[in-house]
A = this chain, B = another copy of it.
């Protein structure tokens, strides 16, 4: 990609205090049928947050052009960045590139640079089949997103980045383009595990949240070795405020005999 990415909602320079948002559109019947469990949301959410872009919504939609078009057109106006995964391969059910072209009201045809990359990759013309050549079709005005795994590129249209669906390719495409994203302040987090169930700590926990309105405290119950336990996650962009909320919550949990322990970030 040659041109710089610019957030869709506000075409401004780096604004460290602005919350920069993203939405992921997962395109694929295989996710909605239950055949495949998506892993791309977790990857992209985690990686985007590291560079100060916050995943605010995700939609899983079927391989129906109308639905893809409507969804992309709705979310590209609502969020700074939109990522789509799935549906850019060589088969008849790969309809994402056409849907994106329609969403932007532009045509679609073979991109010379994409043809060139694929021609070099497949080398033997017998391997560069017509269906593979279809993967060089890019909506007009789109710029290519590199695919370090299997060459067939993704592409960018304004604030919308279209990736393949295979997780290994999603990772490669993301790392090849992430320097183009303009992030805000990353959301930092600290996690405390607590042995008391939510029902015993909820009152004091709510009070801690009220004392620290600029951090956000989430409470996530789980079962550990058959016993209920709770993970408390404190999130915020200001390291000092995060530390202050952490210290307050930790002290409260000690008083509640919650045996708090910090869980290191994995």
Complex contact B222–A29 (CB within 8 A): no
Chain B proximity mask over A22-52: 1 for CB below 8 Å, otherwise 0: 0000000111111111110111111101000
| Residue ID in chain B nearest A91 by CB atoms | B219
Binding site of A, secondary structure by majority: helix, strand, loop or mixed? mixed
Q: Which of A42-73 contact B (CB under 8 A)?
A: 42-47, 49, 54-63, 67
Task: Output the nearest chain B residue to A94 by Cβ-Cβ distance.
Answer: B219
Chain B proximity mask over A181-215: 1 for CB below 8 Å, otherwise 0: 00000010100000000111111011001000000
Given that A90-B199, A129-B199, A202-B90 are known contacts, is A33 also in contact with B55, CB under 8 Å in the complex?
A: yes
| Contacts known (A34-B46, A189-B33, A223-B166); A129 close to B233, Cβ less than 8 A | no
Which of B47, B59, B150, B205 touches A91 (beta carbons < 8 Å)? Answer: B205
* A238 at the B interface (CB under 8 A): no
When the two chains form the complex, which single residue of B42, B63, B219 contacts A34, counting CB atoms closer than 8 Å?
B42
Q: How many copies does the complex hold?
A: 2
Residue numbers in B under 8 Å from A32 (CB-CB): 41, 45, 54-58
Interface status of A137 (Cβ within 8 A of chain B): no
B217 near A93: Cβ-Cβ < 8 Å: yes
* From B38, B131, B187, contact of A203 by CB (8 A): B131
Whether A45 contacts B33 by the Cβ 8 Å rule is: yes
Expressed in whole angstroms, the Cα–Cα distance for A38 and B60 within the complex equals: 12
A132 is an interface residue with CB less than 8 A from chain B: yes
Residue of B nearest to A57 (CB): B61
Once the chains are docked, how many angstroms separate the CA of A91 from the CA of B221? 10
Q: A43-B34, A63-B218 are in contact. Are A202 and B55 (CB under 8 A)?
A: no
Question: Do A37 and B39 touch (CB < 8 A)?
Answer: yes
* 6 A-B residue pairings within 8 Å (CB atoms): A30-B218, A33-B46, A33-B189, A34-B45, A58-B59, A90-B202
> Residues of A with Cβ closer than 8 Å to B?
29-39, 41-47, 49, 54-63, 67, 89-94, 127, 129-132, 134, 150, 166, 168, 187, 189, 198-203, 205-206, 209, 216-223, 228, 233, 235
